[in-house]
Copies of this chain bind each other. A is one copy, B any other.
Amino acid sequence: MNTEADVNDFIQNGYQEYLTHLSIDPVILGYHQQQLKILLLKWKGYKDWGLPGGFIKQREPLSKAAHRILKEKTSLSNLFLQQFYVFGDSPYRVQERSPQEFRDKFNLQVEDDNWLLKRTIAIGYFALVDYSKVRVQTDFFTEDYQWWDVAAVPKLLFDHNEAIDKALLTLRLQIYHQPIGYNLLPEKFTLPEIHSLYESILGKELDQRNFAKKLIALGLIQKLEERRSIGAHRSPYLYQFVKEKYEQALQEGIVHTY
């Protein structure tokens, strides 16, 4: 959606292709340099940053729509992608927008009843992605993108800060029941990497010995013979997830504390 004709068609006729009143707002989390990062977009006409977003096609299954939108934004498929909340309470999610607002932001004229002015209820999804593989696409509505440390997210558009808080809370709760990391780390990773990932997610320090013991005792990860030479100092061993155990734990759940 980058030519002017495409954009106009989307604005005028998008209601035929997409469901009105509904959007999918993905919280895209990656991990890089010991920090949990979130992908935010700079929306045209707004000074604050915001989450990506997308609409559901008329006959598209909801989960397909979520995957499609993620792919459009990040070029990644087969992500870990999960619903975490539906947002329909904040003032922004209740009121319609005005054509003036639309003109101010995008310099485009629309009718009062244009579908893009309607209230949208947002289905929040969070995605865990391999930071290094993401190739972000921008479009007419989104001018720029940037990865932010989740600990330093600025004030965002609409209720997006709330959405991120909720996504992180869900992730923190979930980490006690399900293994997490498969989609956030490269295939082979070191103990310090996964250790620090878990510390980032939980926002607290975890004893390195107990942490490694636990993951290995659960059989979730296994040590490889390879090591990584990062430069100075002792080279860390590489580990990988034991896929079967990981899948099993996703299904059946685990209870533990780290």
Contacts and interface: CB of A to CB of B under 8 A. Distances in A.
Interface of A: 19-22, 56, 58-65, 83, 85-89, 93-95, 119, 121, 123, 173, 176-177, 253, 255, 257
Contacts of A255: 176, 255, 257
Nearest to A120: B19
A86 B88 contact: no
Copies in the complex: 2
A83 B64 CA distance: 21
Contact of A22 (B21, B65, B173): B21
A22 B121 contact: yes
Contact of A83 (B63, B85, B119): B85
B21 A62 contact: no
Contacts of A19: 21, 119, 121
B85 A63 contact: no
Contact of A94 (B60, B87, B89, B93): B60
